[in-house]
Amino acid sequence: MCRWAAYIGEPIFLEEIVARPSHSLIHQSQSATLGHTAINADGFGVAWYGEKPEPGLYRDVMPAWSDPNLRSLTATVKSPLFLAHVRASTGTATSRNNCHPFVVGRWSFMHNGQIGGYDDFRRAGEMMIPDSLYCQRKGATDSEALFLIALAEGLEAEPQAALERAVARFETLSRERGTTPHMRLTVAFSDGVRLYAARYASDEHAPSLYHRWSETRRGRALVSEPLEVEEGDWEEIPPGSFCIFDGKRVEISPFEPFRCAARTPENALDAAARRA
């Protein structure tokens, strides 16, 4: 499985998460300890927010440890909010368009996990992406499809409910036409203001996810694996959780895809309007 890391807080150089720690994301691309695959060499990507609402994006198919451009970028770019990912393919091609994070407008999204038997119902999954968003479909991964379907389900108005509906739709397809494990995931995504995340599985084997607030940096890291072995204050996010990170504030609530499966994007927009 893939490894990823995200950060929100006071601006820092990207390398403080991606490259510098003893078990940085680049180190995890060579030697992950909590994933099913130790090597994550099928591409990488970084999305970071700065002066504009839309994030910058750098992705490539090289192993993260062997790209000097990635080292240079992370050493010179500062950001208050960024997402970084190293990929281990679950079957789709190693191409730049299949590398995470994925970006649409001001939204960025990355995923680790699997949707059981996706190749057997890939066409049905593609058909859940509406025409208005299909032009944003650049690659062939289930991760990008999940992102676009969540956008269609109302991610702008109700991020948690929209992601729950998107996950429920895919898990239903897997149960009907795929294989086990039907759904295992951790995701992180952002609108450039807040950082959102979820950890979920249809069985008892949800991928790992941790977070930690740093008083020194005045920011929070969210990671697949702790970045420093000697730091004992990493907090594990429980399976079946949805998280909102906004500055130092953390909000964790149950993530229950089938609770919201029957709701529509129109319902979400109406609910947002009522709250406003």
Residues with catalytic annotation? 2
What span, in angstroms and rounded, lies between the C-alpha atoms of 102 and 104?
7
Task: List strands edge to edge, sheet with 219-223.
Answer: 56-60, 44-48, 78-86, 3-13, 219-223, 210-214, 235-236
- The answer to whether 257 and 168 have CB atoms below 8 angstroms apart is yes
To the nearest 10 degrees (0 to 180), the angle between helices 159-177 and 142-152 is: 130
Q: Three-state SS string across 175-225, please?
A: HHHCCCCCCEEEEEEECCCCEEEEEEECCCCCCCCEEEEECCCCEEEEECC
DSSP conformational letter for 264: -
Nearest partner of 93 among 148, 60, 141, judged by Cα: 141
Q: Is 167 exposed, middle or buried (0-12, 13-18, 19+ CB in 10 A)?
A: buried
